[in-house]
Amino acid sequence: MSSSPGPLTPPPRPRPTPSNGPLGPGEPTVPAPDVVVLMTDQQRVGCTAAQGGPDTMSRTDALLAAGTRFDRAYTTSPVCVPARTSLLTGRFPTAHRVRQNSTAGHALYGADLLDVLRGAGYSLHFSGKPHMHPGAEDFDSYTGPFFHDSGPARPATGDPAGFEAWLRALDHGVAEEPTPFEVADQFPARIVDGALHALEQAPTDRPRFLWVSFPEPHNPYQVPEPYFSMFEDEVPERETDASVLDGMDWRFRWLHRLIEEKRPGFDRSWRRYRANYLGMLRLIDDQIGRLLDAIESSARPTIFVVLADHGDFTGEYGLQRKGAAMPDALMRIPLGFSGPGISAQERHELVSIIDVLPTLAERLTGEIPPGVQGRSLDPLLQGLPAPAEEFGSILGELGYGGVSYEETDRPPLHFSYEGASFDELNSVTLGGEMRMLVRGHHKLVVDDRGHDTLHDLLADPLETHDLAADADHQQLRAELRRELVRWMMRAADDLPVGAYTPRTRPHNWRWV
């Protein structure tokens, strides 16, 4: 596919004849494994038993216990479409150019994950929430689109139309009562129905790629019984509230004031919000269990990738949803791989959502496409050591461009300042530019006005104590700034491929 800016609807992709590559004389044919991506939307790290939280996702935790879980994985951007574009292209938003949810069709890349898998002979199947640059025409089967308050038409089972009208009436808020509709109406159940149908109809003589993309546990925060009451007595205490905002980046305060103005007293529902959120995770996990049962019964070798696009405030800082700066609550993501040839282990390297594409590309084809900036994790999945310099730090990006607003600004937005409705992804809190570097247990965030914050993530995991002005941390601050510059150079675009061949290294590990 062309790496020039594309139209809002990308052109159809070529569909080559399925092939697992040339075989030498007498070489046995080894069937390629199926690949299944299980993706949630806005799932914060720390909300499952394997991550130190309540037992919300036992089937998913068990799946990853048999494989490799990365406990220090980060997204490239705490916004859906930029993060998902990074997943599919292996590129930072700086390079793929998608920096907000409205510009998915303009992604720039050479070959993305679908191109790699199609070229390797896979049939491609999708069920769920898209928020991505490929369209239905790029898959062999497609169930969707599902969004947070709407889904595709389907045969009458339960009351899907009534459920979706009820969702819209919540206005992305927190339901104070159990959802008065059946589990079968919930999007995770309908998405898994579509995924199971895709697997049943997929050709059996080709490996299958299935992307299952849940819109939950993203707002609106709602769930039916028994999930509504399931975690009411297990809601973890939060560590912060709005009282910490005076010492934090102004974007947090601006967003809090906006929500309080529109929904006075909204933060009083934080326990209900958290209970619903945890219940949504269990509902998702139960539906994942249905899918895993079917896949296990087929006895086909399968690689699973489990991840989210970004996190959620879940009540910390007195905030809901997302939309202000780059705290770990939004930037860290669950990420794990399971399947044949993948070791059972927990890894502590700093990895990214951009590493998924090169990992699968190297494992399945032996090659990483030009322009990919992520690093193959395949050696790590095999239990091999990772170079500390390569995996000792990671970059994150945020910003719609232009210059940052100031805390007192109140410009016209794409929604009214009147009424209860709002969008936390707005041009004030996400305007300008921000860049994040995590190295070891320290984190530096710099914006386009030259303001930066520095945090010790071990001593201050919620990032409420800024060390940037502390005399004892100036050498560290300077070191992190230099490393951030190095990462920003790495995020520069190598495309298009020209007459001169740049030097590459195995696994796309540049710093070894």
Evaluate if residue 25 carries a pLDDT over 70.
no
Does any domain span residue 302?
yes
**Residue 28 pLDDT:** 44
Evaluate if residue 10 carries a pLDDT over 90.
no
Does any domain span residue 493?
no
Rounded distance, CA 455 to CA 466, Å? 6
Rounded distance, CA 406 to CA 383, Å? 47
**Residue 159 pLDDT:** 79
Q: Given the structure tokens 């004031």, which residue do they identify?
A: 257
Does any domain span residue 60?
yes
Encode pLDDT of 460-486 as tens digits: 999 999 999 999 999 999 999 999 999
Given a contact cutoff of 8 angstroms between Cβ atoms, the answer to whether 273 and 42 are in contact is no
Q: What CATH code is carried by the domain that includes residue 377?
A: 3.40.720.10
Encode pLDDT of 405-461 as tens digits: 999 999 999 999 999 999 999 999 999 999 999 999 999 999 999 999 999 999 999
Rounded to the nearest integer, the mean pLDDT of the chain is: 93
* Backbone φ and ψ of 264, nearest 5°: -55, 130
| pLDDT category of residue 153 using cuts at 50, 70 and 90 | confident
Encode pLDDT of 178-228 as tens digits: 999 999 999 999 999 999 999 999 999 999 999 999 999 999 999 999 999
| pLDDT category of residue 309 using cuts at 50, 70 and 90 | very high
Residue type, 117: L
**Residue 421 pLDDT:** 97
**Residue 20 pLDDT:** 39
Does any domain span residue 8?
no
Residues 6+ apart with CB under 8 A from 302: 33, 34, 35, 36, 295, 339
The radius of gyration of the chain from alpha carbons, rounded to an integer in Å, stands at: 22
**Residue 31 pLDDT:** 80
Does any domain span residue 58?
yes
Given CA atoms 405, 411, 413, 415 in this order, what sign does their dihedral have? positive
Given CA atoms 326, 328, 329, 333 in this order, what sign does their dihedral have? positive
Encode pLDDT of 118-137 as tens digits: 999 999 999 999 999 999 99
Q: How far from chain centre, in Å, is Cα 450?
A: 28
Rounded distance, CA 82 to CA 75, Å? 9
Does any domain span residue 261?
yes
Does any domain span residue 10?
no
Q: Which domain holds residue 210?
A: 34-387
Evaluate if residue 321 carries a pLDDT over 50.
yes
Q: Over range 40-46, report the average pLDDT.
A: 98
Q: Bridge-partner residues for 510, per DSSP?
A: none
Encode pLDDT of 74-94 as tens digits: 999 999 999 999 999 999 999
Encode pLDDT of 259-298 as tens digits: 999 999 999 999 999 999 999 999 999 999 999 999 999 9
Evaluate if residue 16 carries a pLDDT over 50.
no
Residues 6+ apart with CB under 8 A from 2: none
**Residue 156 pLDDT:** 53
Q: Over range 169-175, report the average pLDDT.
A: 98
pTM for this predicted structure: 0.94
Residues 6+ apart with CB under 8 A from 218: 41, 42, 148, 312
Rounded distance, CA 308 to CA 353, Å? 9
Measured at the alpha carbon of residue 505, what is the angle toward residues 504 and 510, in degrees to the nearest 5? 95
- Number of structural domains the chain divides into: 1
Evaluate if residue 12 carries a pLDDT over 60.
no
Measured at the alpha carbon of residue 508, what is the angle toward residues 506 and 510, in degrees to the nearest 5? 95
**Residue 1 pLDDT:** 36
Stronger pLDDT, 429 or 16, i.e. the higher one: 429
Q: Over range 55-78, report the average pLDDT.
A: 98
Closest CA to 419 of 267, 261, 266, 269: 261
Measured at the alpha carbon of residue 103, what is the angle toward residues 368 and 127, in degrees to the nearest 5? 65
Q: What percent of the chain has pLDDT over 90?
A: 91
Does any domain span residue 447?
no
Give the SS3 label for residue 261: helix
Evaluate if residue 155 carries a pLDDT over 80.
no
Measured at the alpha carbon of residue 511, what is the angle toward residues 507 and 512, in degrees to the nearest 5? 75
Given a contact cutoff of 8 angstroms between Cβ atoms, the answer to whether 6 and 106 are in contact is yes
**Residue 220 pLDDT:** 98
